[in-house]
Amino acid sequence: MFARLKEKIEKRKAVVGIIGLGYVGLPLAVEFGDQGFKVLGFEISKKKVEVINSGRSDIDDIENRQVKNLVDKGLLEATLNFALLKNADCISICVPTPLSKTKDPDVSFILSAVEQVKKYLHPGQLIVLESTTYPGTTEELIRPMLEETGLKVGKDFFLAFSPERVDPANRNYIIKNTPRVVGGTTPLCSKIAKLYYQQIIKQVVAVSSTQGAEMTKLLENTFRSVNIGLVNEVALMCDRLKIDVWEIIEAAKTKPFGFMPFYPGPGLGGHCIPIDPHYLSWKLKSLNYYARFIELAGDINSHMPEYVVERTTRALNQIKKTVKGSNILVLGVAYKRDIKDVRESPALDVIKLLQNAGARVKYNDPHVPSILMNCDKMKSVRLSSSQLKKTDCVVIVTDHSDYDYDWIVKNSRLVFDTRNACKQVKSNRRKIVKL
């Protein structure tokens, strides 16, 4: 089975199946398609299937022409029919792994995908989970489900975990030049999974187990969460000390060793950093261990939107305005610069908190035409000098590169900058309040 699958992969004859065509799955599908593999993309969204099969992309990092080129060549097909999994030689599972309201892992999307794989599992297939999850998921949940078919892992089929490392809007590091970690349930599983990813990625690093690969991903994101939590707390300290936190960070990063700059902001967003560390924390609670750094960083980061509203209130007081009844314009609702993704975006919390405080809130985002707030749709307003001039306070939550910050400051009465986006603005700086 190993030799047969190895030959198929090396000769680009293996059919690649990807379950989930979102921010992780679609770029992966495009990379395999570009290398000549036939790719089947499995989805539960009829709309997404129609979009992709019409040659269009619905995510930031993939252009329409890339999808159309592969669809026209017959190398990419999206489908709702999971029975076609029987035609796939290698299957990557790229489904969401959210948290429940109690911050417990929700692996229901993984289990649902594996249930479909199980129905059509046959000898010689490679199954790889890419969805971020807690250490032990692949070995303790997925392996038993698949072996219920009577097929044995490492002998009849191959099972591995390889965490995605997608950074939306990052043009420097994409799939092919971002090293990939893989861990198999057996040595042969690791070997074939490594070969699979080597077809599209320059450097693939094998670790000794699926648990090791799962833990690697959680360490990466916990590292970011904890350091962002630290620098957010430093920002709170600097506010009390009347010190410019941005100046302090710029000075500290001149040290050529022992320091890595992180930057404060209005809170964490996206599908990874606000969520993944809690997977590790949850797992460790089951082992009677309390992950103090993770919990503390999560607490600090989750309360940053409240701090933004408090600072906005203080800034308005300086111009003799109360937050209640003030006209506030939020600039940027995507969770990071130059994308349209609003998952877990702190901007949504900032807007809600400002509304609860009695402010009249509008927003502008060139990438996000509308958002859903309390079951009501809010539309992005046109950014004009007249709009800015009738606004009491502009709150920069997402520092999109589309914005002309000089012009924004010039036409605004007051600007609260949570991202240091106005650092290059030279004139009218008295109007700017920085986080």
DSSP letters, 129-153, are E-S---TTHIIIIIHHHHHTTS--B
The pLDDT assigned to 68 comes to 98
Residue 52 near residue 64, CB atoms below 8 Å: no
The pLDDT assigned to 276 comes to 87
| Percentage of residues in the chain having pLDDT higher than 70 | 100
Order the strands of the 432-434 sheet from edge to edge: 360-364, 327-331, 393-396, 415-417, 432-434
273 pLDDT band, cuts 50/70/90, is confident
Residues in the chain: 435
Q: How far apart are alpha carbons 366 and 22 in whole angstroms?
A: 21
The continuous run of DSSP H or E covering 204 comes out as: strand 204-207
How do residues 73-122 score in pLDDT, each as one tens digit? Answer: 999 999 999 999 999 999 999 999 988 777 788 999 999 999 999 999 99
Q: What is the mean pLDDT of residues 271-296?
A: 90
Q: How far apart are alpha carbons 144 and 138 in whole angstroms?
A: 9
Query: Among the listed ranges 29-43, 219-233, 262-276, 402-416, which one has the minimum average pLDDT value?
Result: 262-276
pTM, 2 dp:
0.93
Which residue matches tokens 């994308």?
339
* 376: alpha, beta or left? (left if phi > 0; alpha if psi -120 to 50): beta
Q: How far apart are alpha carbons 414 and 138 in whole angstroms?
A: 52
Q: How far apart are alpha carbons 84 and 87 in whole angstroms?
A: 6
Whether the per-residue pLDDT at 271 is higher than 80: the answer is: no
Decide if 272 is catalytic.
yes
The pLDDT assigned to 414 comes to 97
Mean of pLDDT over the chain: 96
Q: What is the mean pLDDT of residues 39-50?
A: 97
How many C-beta atoms surround the C-beta of residue 196 within 10 A?
A: 28
365 pLDDT band, cuts 50/70/90, is very high
Of the listed 90, 189, 238, 272, which one is catalytic?
Answer: 272
Q: Structural domains in the chain?
A: 2-208 (3.40.50.720), 218-300 (1.10.1040.10), 303-434 (3.40.50.720)
